[in-house]
Amino acid sequence: MTFLLSVSVLAAVYVAMYGLERLPGLRFRPLPFRRRYFTTDVAWYGVAVAITAVSVFVLQPVISKLAIEPIARNVAAMPTVARVLLAFLLFDLISYTVHRALHRYDALWSFHKVHHSTLQLDGLAQTRAHMCENMLRFVPGQIVMFLIGIPIAEVAPVLAFAAIYGVFDHSNLGINFRWAEALFVTPRLHRRHHVPSSSHQNFGPVLTIWDRMLGTFVSLDTAADEQFGVPGEVDTYPQRFDKAVRRPMLDVRQAVRNRRAPRPLEPSG
């Protein structure tokens, strides 16, 4: 029941944002109501729901039993608000770390390219993520929360908030939220992450503090004519769902072949 409620609320958020971010007074760029590759991202949304179901009904019952007892007892003694805040901070930090790793390592980047392949950034583009990336994004944070003794009833709202916030910071909203950027990621900041020239910056999912502390923060406006997409593959990375699902494995296979190939001999003398 809780799972169905969460999915319903998130779907309502997507629908509401999809309308709001196209209104002339609120939008960053003009976007048609039915933009290109709309059905592609709806398909990715279905994948995300399926992966979430696996996480909730298969993984959570197992990993929720991994609590480290001495730590869990101390965490259980904390006030509920403090415990939820701790869970959120940990999950956000781990999400930042995982996101940075997705950009740093070739095999992981092969899967993360799917997310960066979107050419028109809006709330629905948040759904465009390979199933392997979805697991990498959400499972490590859950494991840590359960290890320190955060109960499922408090893990769920943290995950729901992160998912809803992702719709917001991927949105096409052009409203000035600079007053919040000392602490929070805004659509303006995350937009830079989807511009190829600055895609290895602004990794934070909700908070900007990790980017600021670790030197990956950039505060730049995105020009009206700047493109979104995979660096070096803006025009060539597949947009259709069926091709994009298979592409990461092809990229990983090619990367393995390249590493196994003998290096050319250096000229002697």
Q: What is the pLDDT of residues 217-249, one digit of tens each?
A: 999 999 988 999 999 999 999 999 999 999 999
**What is the per-residue pLDDT across 169-196, written as a single tens digit (0 to 9) for each?**
999 999 999 999 999 999 999 999 999 9
Confidence check: pLDDT of 262 > 70: no
What is the tens place of the pLDDT at every residue in 190-213? 999 999 999 999 999 999 999 999
Alpha helices in the chain (DSSP H): 2-20, 38-54, 60-63, 69-76, 80-104, 106-116, 131-147, 152-169, 187-193, 209-214, 241-260
Question: Rounded to two decimals, what is the model's pTM?
Answer: 0.92
CB atoms within 10 A of CB 128: 24
Q: How confident is the model at residue 269 (pLDDT cuts 50, 70, 90)?
A: very low
Measured CA to CA, the distance from residue 190 to residue 13 in angstroms comes to 19
Predicted pLDDT at 268: 43
Cα 161 vs. chain centroid, distance in angstroms? Answer: 13
Instruction: Tell me the pLDDT tens digit for each residue of 43-83.
Output: 999 999 999 999 889 999 989 888 998 999 999 999 999 99
Measured CA to CA, the distance from residue 85 to residue 91 in angstroms comes to 10
Residue 184: strand, helix, or coil: strand
pLDDT recorded at residue 159 = 93
Residue 93 has pLDDT above 60, yes or no: yes
Stretch among 37-41, 86-90, 253-257 having the lowest mean pLDDT: 253-257
Residue 109, classed as helix, strand or coil, is: helix
In the chain, the amino acid numbered 259 is R
Write the CB contacts of 144 (distance below 8 Å, at least 6 apart in sequence). Answer: 90, 91, 94
Per-residue pLDDT at 265? 46
pLDDT of residue 259: 72
| pLDDT tops 90 at residue 266 | no
d(CA 140, CA 2): 22
The per-residue pLDDT for 235 is 95
Whether residue 2 has pLDDT greater than 90: no
pLDDT digits (tens, 9 = 90+) for 108-166: 999 999 999 999 999 999 999 999 999 999 899 999 999 999 999 999 999 999 999 99
What does the domain layout of the chain look like in residue ranges? 2-258
The 8-class DSSP code of residue 228 comes to P
Indicate the average pLDDT of the chain: 92
Residue with tokens 């406006």: 221
**Cβ count within 10 A of residue 219:** 15
- Give yes or no for residue 267 having a pLDDT over 60: no
Tell me the sheet residues that pair with 173: 27
Q: What's the confidence (pLDDT) of residue 65? A: 87
